Structures are given as structure tokens and as C-alpha cells.
């Protein structure tokens, strides 16, 4: 099975993808993989986060672009906190 990691480093695979979009996909892929490794179902995560199971499915399928708040709620349900840092360009 191919994963995001198989595609993201291939030149010209995603010519229109911004760095920000790539970072968002990396973050969602990490959270999704972590949820599975922790044996937490979408329904269980739904109860922990207040997000609905269909919302979680849409996030994991990359059908929507989440707000920072939604992404942080998802992460918090797994015991993580998302932080934004400002660094020199």
C-alpha cells in the first residue's frame, strides 16, 4: 500500500501543493497513524474530542481543510497539543 511518504518527496508529484498544504497533510497523516497505533476508533476519538465521527473521517480522508482549532481538538483527543512557532525565514 502506498502512503503519503511515497509521494511527497517525488519531484513534480504535487506541483501545485504549497509548503503549508504539505505540512498540514504531514500533520494529519501523523495523527491518523497515531490513532490507529493507539487502537482508538473514530467513534472513541469522537467522544473524546466532541467532533462527530463523520468529521473525523473527512479529516483523515483529506476531504476538508481543518481550522487550527479543529486540528488541535483532534490532536488533544490523542494526548497531543499542536503548537505554532515563528522562526526566521
pLDDT tens across 23-64, in order? Answer: 889 999 999 999 999 999 999 999 999 999 999 999 999 999
Q: Checking phi first, is residue 3 left (phi over 0); if not, alpha (psi -120 to 50) or beta?
A: beta
The candidate with the shortest Cα–Cα distance to 4, out of 18, 24, 15, is 24
**Widest distance between CA atoms in the chain:** 40
Other C-beta atoms lying within 10 Å of the C-beta of residue 77:
20
Q: Checking phi first, is residue 51 left (phi over 0); if not, alpha (psi -120 to 50) or beta?
A: beta
- State what percent of residues in the chain have pLDDT above 70: 83
Amino acid at each position: 500500500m502506498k502512503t503519503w511518504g511515497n509521494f511527497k518527496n517525488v519531484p513534480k508529484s504535487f506541483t501545485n501543493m504549497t509548503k503549508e498544504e504539505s505540512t498540514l497533510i504531514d500533520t494529519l497523516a501523523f495523527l491518523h497513524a497515531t490513532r490507529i497505533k493507539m487502537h482508538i476508533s473514530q467513534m472513541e476519538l469522537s467522544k473524546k474530542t466532541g467532533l462527530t465521527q463523520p468529521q473525523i473521517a473527512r479529516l483523515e480522508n483529506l476531504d476538508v481543510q481543518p481550522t487550527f482549532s479543529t486540528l488541535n481538538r483532534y490532536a488533544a483527543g490523542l494526548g497531543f497539543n499542536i503548537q505554532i512557532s515563528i522562526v526566521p525565514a
